Structure 1
Amino acid sequence: MADSQTRTLISRAQLSRPLARRIYWTALVVTIVVFAVFFLFPLYWVASSGLKSAAEVEQIPQTLIPHTWEWGNYATAWSNYDLGRLIFNTAYYAFGALVLQLIFDVAAAYALSKLRPVLGNAVLFLMLGTLMIPATVLVIPNYLTAVNVPLLHWSLINSPLAIWLPSVANGFNIFLLKRFFDSIPEELMAAAAIDGAGPLRALRSIVLPMSRPILAVVSIFAMVAVWKDVLWPLLVITDTSKMTINVGLLNLTGDGIPMNVEMASLTVAAIPTIIFFLIFQRNIMSGLTAGSLKG
């Protein structure tokens, strides 16, 4: 009975055989090890290169283990190139974009899902249509808008708003939120309406508490999108004191810094995202699948 309810690649009856069990576990372990090596080796190579001398980093063939462990490279990268300020700037932009996305994208998804305005499906279709447009196509129009905001005639160059505002209109996140909100039973919304709860009260008391998984996923996407972006911050943030970590490191590549110190800088820049992923990795899959079934 259990085999008929649980679908697996190999049935329990086959796994009960000693030979099949050994083949299965051998193949599983080998697959995991191979994928782990391919994914983790670049991180190891960057981190270990930051511990080598400048001559050892540039020698051919490369060494897997440093001959001399120069931990001072990381201290030099942190102090000489102000990595702490660059990381703080990036975190500031990322959290600002996160807050604005949660406010406006949740409101848009809630309106499309539960309030169902006139032409709501057409609006959703147009939002999803923006996902088919390459991001590079929008760079020039967005930049011209940031230089001189229509009607207001403001310049957003070197302003956090230049990073935050373009990230708010995210059709993919709105679609994810709407998809999850659609899975919330209408009976709960009707019961809240009978008790006298308006749309905002229902959103605050019913929808948001039930939507923590998908809110976590949207938060992760919002943070990572700002953290990894290079082209847009490079265009709109020209003040060196306000640059993101990616733009700051990009500018360092032309300053003739030693390769080992540059690798140490890249390792330091990668640490926050690795920690962020390790903390919230479970929220990604749980949020993406939480609204897949009705009821």
Structure 2
Amino acid sequence: MTLTATRPATRAAATARPRRTGRRWPLVALLAVLSVLTVSPFLAMFVVALSPAGEPTLPTRWPSALTFDNIAHVLSTSGFLQWTLNSLVYSAVSVVIILLTASMAGYAFAKKRFPGRDAMLWTFLATMMVPFQATLIPTYVLVSDLGGVDTFWGLIVPTLANSQAVFLMRQFILGLPDELFEAAKVDGASELRVYWTIVVPLTRPILATLGVFVFLWHWNDFLWPLVIGQSDATRTLTVGLTILRTEELQLSLLMASAAVSVLPCLLVFFLLQRYLVNSIAMTGLK
């Protein structure tokens, strides 16, 4: 009786599985098409960048050969390496300082009790509603009066007050159990030790995610570096690329410069993608 009762159920389950798989094919095909449409501009950029100079290439025809001469020519262009180094300094220093200050502020807003905490938090978050263009002129006048024009500190400091980063850190730290912090206090740990031994290790996924976002924000930033950087000593890569566009360069050279500017972003993403996935998984569990 048991065998005869289970055999039909097993056959029904076996016949139902292919149907479920068959129903997913349209979704898989749609996602594949969207992926190709998303990646194709980047592939076209790299193909044009590697095409021989002066030879017809995409979208008219496929290049006859691929070469790195355009990239070598762009790297040897006066000021290009300096612009790239300036962008790396601008992005890396901003990432380190913003992650440090945002994690400290997020910990204070999430786990500390002090007068005016909520009012301070919501006032700080209200600055997210104000576009940067509205405060561009007052910020420039202030930095100029302090002698920060065409300097790295004038380029970096005004962008460090990141309310979105503080908000993300606060929301993540709110999910951490209070018992951990209470146990650390009972053991006599100082606030700095609690932050360094509990908050920082447990927030690594969100720190990595936020680090990628902050790096991309600053690497692609254009308006503030354009206003504050007035020489090659502080000019970033995004501003330098606009200078190259004003010159009569071939399309392959412009695409080579764009391809070089994209590589650091891809490298940062591939290095930290494991933490990005962990952050999404932990957020889903919460």
Please tell me the TM-score bracket, short chain as reference.
0.7 to 0.9
- Aligned partners of 2:15, 2:150: CA distance in 1, in Å? 61
Cross-structure match for 1:100: 97
- Residue type of the partner of 1:39? T
- Aligned partners of 2:48, 2:218: CA distance in 1, in Å? 27
1:56-67 equivalent positions in 2, closer than 5 A: 56-57=56-57, 62-67=59-64
Cross-structure match for 2:3: none
Deviations 1:208-249 (A, max 9, x none): 121111111221122111101011101101111321111111
Determine helix, strand or coil for the equivalent of 1:80.
coil
- Residue type of the partner of 2:256? A
- 1:118 is aligned to 2:110: no
Cross-structure match for 1:155: 147
Instruction: Give the unaligned 5+ runs of structure 2.
Output: 1-11
Task: Report the CA distance shift for 1:222/1:121 in structure 2 as closer, same or farther (over 3 A).
Answer: same
Cross-structure match for 2:227: 235
- 1:263 is aligned to 2:262: no
TM-score by length of 2: 0.87
Contact 1:77–1:261 (CA<8 Å) still a contact in 2? yes
RMSD between aligned alpha carbons?
2.3
- Residue type of the partner of 2:36? V
Determine helix, strand or coil for the equivalent of 1:175.
helix
Per-residue deviation, 1:82:
4.3
Cross-structure match for 2:33: 34
- Taking only the aligned residue pairs, the percentage that are identical comes to 28
Determine helix, strand or coil for the equivalent of 1:66.
coil
1:1-295 equivalent positions in 2, closer than 5 A: 16-24=16-24, 26-52=25-51, 53-54=53-54, 56-57=56-57, 62-148=59-145, 154-287=146-279, 290=282
Task: Report the CA distance shift for 1:14/1:224 in structure 2 as closer, same or farther (over 3 A).
Answer: farther
- Aligned partners of 1:272, 1:187: CA distance in 2, in Å? 40
Per-residue deviation, 1:122:
0.9
Instruction: Give the unaligned 5+ runs of structure 1.
Output: 1-11, 149-153
Contact 2:79–2:232 (CA<8 Å) still a contact in 1? no
- Aligned partners of 2:257, 2:192: CA distance in 1, in Å? 46
Q: How many pairs does the alignment contain?
A: 274
Task: Report the CA distance shift for 1:128/1:286 in structure 2 as closer, same or farther (over 3 A).
Answer: farther
- Aligned partners of 2:14, 2:212: CA distance in 1, in Å? 40
Contact 1:14–1:20 (CA<8 Å) still a contact in 2? no
- Aligned partners of 1:32, 1:206: CA distance in 2, in Å? 40
